[in-house]
Amino acid sequence: MGSFEIFIANHQLTAYLILLGGMFIDSDIFYLSAALLAHSKQLNWFIVAGIAFGGMILSDICFYFLGRYSRETRFGTWFTRKFKKYHEWLDVNFIGRYTVFAFFGKFVAYVNRIGPFLAGWHKLPYRKFLKIHFATGLLWLSILTTIGVILGSFIDLVGIGWVLHRIWAFVIILFLTFIIGSRIMGKVLTKKFEAKENINTDNQKPL
């Protein structure tokens, strides 16, 4: 048993607390790492999944209320003035399609925090917000758990020794996959945003 495995075995509570904190930082990386440990029976699957889901919902709620109550501050006044031309578009297109945005946003590194913040900022009804994030959170958890099981099975197949000898390459590939995937999804969302903005601008031009 390596030093890392010994640490996990002796500090289970610390590992779960790190996972909980990670849900506020980068939920994908932290949960997938914990899922691999659960697959190797170093952590409890039910506790890992429960903490990940609860932590994600808690972080979403925190960012929601941060956005809701920031609107009346000096920052809120500056932000409203700075991005005034986008508020109407966001009310119609962002809030109107928030379920889709919330789901895909969970897989994008920065959007998964901006989404709840903007939902609070635009005063999306709290009950509706919770329903959307419970549903999309369960979908996210199912997808990441499946990925974790597949990766864990791959490690079982090739052997942990093979992975440890190539651990840096493995971590880099995993990191790049999430970062590149996040950038691609972010660009897609940005292009849709710009396209809608151009359409609205054209419609407002006098004939």
Question: What pLDDT score does 41 carry?
Answer: 87
**Sign of the torsion formed by the C-alpha atoms of 29, 160, 37 and 15:** negative
- Taking 3-state DSSP, the helix, strand and coil percentages for the chain, each rounded to the nearest 5, stand at 85, 0, 15
Contact 38, 44 (CB under 8 A): yes
> What DSSP state is assigned to residue 112?
H
Question: What pLDDT score does 82 carry?
Answer: 74
Question: What pLDDT score does 55 carry?
Answer: 95
Question: What pLDDT score does 146 carry?
Answer: 94
Residue 130's closest CA among 187, 65, 84, 186?
65
Structural domain boundaries in the chain: 3-158, 159-206
Question: What pLDDT score does 63 carry?
Answer: 94
Main-chain phi, psi angles of 171, to 5 degrees? -65, -40
Question: What pLDDT score does 185 carry?
Answer: 58
How many C-beta atoms lie closer than 10 Å to residue 118's C-beta?
Answer: 20
Per-residue pLDDT tens digits of the chain, which is 207 residues long: 556 667 777 888 999 999 999 999 888 888 988 998 888 888 999 999 999 999 999 999 999 999 899 888 888 788 777 767 666 767 777 777 888 888 888 887 677 888 899 899 888 999 999 999 999 999 999 999 998 899 888 878 877 666 656 656 666 766 666 666 656 655 655 565 555 555 555 555 554
Give the Cα separation of 199 and 45 in Å (integer). Answer: 48
Question: What pLDDT score does 73 carry?
Answer: 86
Contact 60, 29 (CB under 8 A): no
